[in-house]
């Protein structure tokens, strides 16, 4: 049983367990002990963070715990999560850490670990760290503690890594782009790299102050970006989240292009170039049935994983697929990076538009999405709702009403105290007629 680690590291409101300075210190000591006891060299770990005010506090406490346990720490400052995955590999660190709560509000924060290969830590290592937190090992002698170093060129290294993913000598001249950085980790990197590649850039929400990350901006509030695209006559809009590991786009008409449509575009483009491994992609239980039909019409398969980029990645490696992602905008392009990367996804979209000489609206334009809606029920306390027989009966009755013309997915969020209810149907009226009463019935039962 996990006590602290969820599907995406440790996360929660700051100054409440587990996101306190004391816990971060203990976590640093536990992680330092577990990660280094099998190493024969001086161990090194890299720490990046997004732009939350609490990042300074958590970084200092975690760094203290890691160095106290004998690890050297490489501090790279505010930088996207995928940059941490890349730099951990590039700088030959033994592990990496990202301090971020992704798309959550500024009052939350999180701690996410990467292994030396840039992939997330295996479950057994996370569980070993958890077990160690309540039974901390002895501290090493005074002269065997670690050191902390600042890496000043981290953002530049990541920008060059991103540019290297494009076809040789490709430029994006003439493309007008609106980019919403969510006042987050990509506030500097995102507009910078797009301008370097020749884009005419309209930059939004790129002035973080520690409090405004994800505040009515970014991938969870794309409406501002969509309006700005139309107002400025731009070709494409790009909205990142706080740690820039997800992307939501829109076309020149201000129409939203979610993760499902992005997967369709990138998969079709890769297939035409003969580089889509397994002739398949990996998505989640939330992905639209319209995507599945569209891919099948093009001779491609779609494998569904549990919700969470951790599970998408696991299935991608199992099925030997190089493209996978979530409807919410997490795209994993294994030919380029080991985790979701919003800017990498944006560059691959722009590259496909340039190579095909097409507007974004014309790409995968014949994909018809089923009407789908997600309802959230905030839980006063975490309960095993899905084991409740009355809840199971309500879901079964709702599925019967769909009569095979849609589907229902009910799950607990892995990052927030919420029950998520997704209903999808060929007909929007049927979808709402089933979803709304089901949500209300479950809310009355469990709240």
Catalytic residues: 102
Q: How far apart are the first and last CA of the chain?
A: 25
State the CB neighbour count (10 A cutoff) for residue 407. Answer: 15
Sole residue written with tokens 């001779």: 299
Q: Could you give phi then psi for residue 302, rounded to 5 degrees?
A: -135, 120
Structure tokens at 65: 């715990």
Structure tokens at 155: 């953002």
Residue pair 364/352 in contact by the 8 Å Cβ criterion? no
Residue pair 277/319 in contact by the 8 Å Cβ criterion? no
Question: What is the DSSP secondary structure assignment for residue 427, as one 8-state letter?
Answer: S
Instruction: Please report, for residues 117, 275, 276, 322, 323, the alpha-carbon distance to residue 279 in angstroms, rounded to integers and kept in the order given.
Output: 26, 9, 6, 10, 10
Instruction: Please report, for residues 45, 90, 121, 382, the alpha-carbon distance to residue 42 in angstroms, rounded to integers and kept in the order given.
Output: 10, 17, 20, 41
Sole residue written with tokens 């569209």: 294
Bridge-based pairing state of the strands 44-49 and 95-99 = parallel
Q: Spell out the alpha helix ranges (H) of 366-427.
A: 389-402
Question: Alpha-carbon distance 361 to 342, whole Å?
Answer: 19
Q: For residue 338, which of 77, 6, 99, 114 has the smallest C-alpha distance?
A: 114
The three-state secondary structure class of 365 is: coil
Structure tokens at 219: 């991938």
């Amino acid at each position: 049983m996990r006590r602290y680690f969820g599907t995406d590291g440790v996360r929660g409101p700051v100054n409440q367990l587990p996101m306190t300075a004391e816990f971060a210190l203990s976590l640093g000591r536990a992680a330092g002990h577990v990660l280094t006891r099998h190493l024969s060299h001086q161990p090194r770990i890299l720490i990046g963070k997004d732009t939350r005010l609490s990042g300074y506090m958590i970084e200092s406490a975690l760094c203290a715990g890691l160095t106290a346990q004998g690890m050297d720490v490489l501090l790279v400052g505010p930088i996207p999560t995928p940059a941490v995955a890349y730099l951990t590999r590039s700088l030959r660190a033994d592990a990496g850490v990202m301090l971020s709560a992704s798309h959550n509000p500024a009052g939350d924060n999180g701690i996410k670990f990467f292994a030396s290969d840039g992939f997330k830590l295996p479950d057994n290592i996370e569980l070993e760290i958890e077990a160690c937190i309540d039974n901390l090992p002895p501290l090493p002698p005074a002269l065997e503690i670690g050191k902390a170093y600042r890496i000043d060129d981290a953002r530049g290294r990541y920008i060059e890594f991103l540019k290297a993913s494009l076809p040789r000598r490709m430029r994006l001249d003439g493309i007008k782009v609106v980019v919403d950085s969510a006042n987050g980790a990509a506030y500097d990197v995102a507009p910078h790299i797009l301008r370097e590649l020749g884009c005419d850039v309209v930059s939004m929400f790129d002035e973080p102050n520690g409090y405004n990350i994800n505040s009515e901006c970014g991938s969870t509030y794309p409406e501002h970006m969509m309006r700005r695209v139309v107002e400025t006559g731009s070709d494409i809009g790009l909205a990142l989240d706080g740690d820039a590991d997800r992307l939501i786009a829109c076309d020149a008409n201000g129409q939203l292009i979610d993760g499902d449509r992005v997967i369709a575009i990138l998969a079709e483009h890769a297939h035409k170039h003969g580089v889509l491994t397994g002739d398949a992609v990996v998505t989640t239980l939330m992905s639209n049935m319209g995507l599945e039909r569209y891919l099948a019409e093009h001779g491609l398969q779609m494998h569904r994983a549990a919700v969470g980029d951790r599970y998408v990645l696991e299935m991608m490696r199992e099925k030997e697929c190089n493209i996978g992602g979530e409807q919410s905008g997490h795209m994993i392009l294994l030919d380029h990076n080991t985790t979701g990367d919003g800017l990498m996804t944006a560059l691959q979209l722009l590259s496909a538009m340039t190579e095909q000489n097409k507007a974004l609206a014309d790409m995968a334009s014949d994909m018809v999405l089923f009407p789908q809606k997600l309802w959230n029920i905030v839980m006063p306390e975490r309960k095993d709702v899905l084991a409740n027989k009355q809840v199971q009966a309500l879901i079964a009755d709702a599925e019967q009403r769909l009569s095979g013309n849609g589907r229902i997915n009910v799950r607990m969020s892995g990052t927030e105290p919420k029950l998520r209810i997704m209903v999808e149907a060929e007909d929007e009226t049927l979808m709402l007629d089933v979803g709304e009463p089901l949500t209300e019935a479950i809310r009355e039962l469990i709240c």
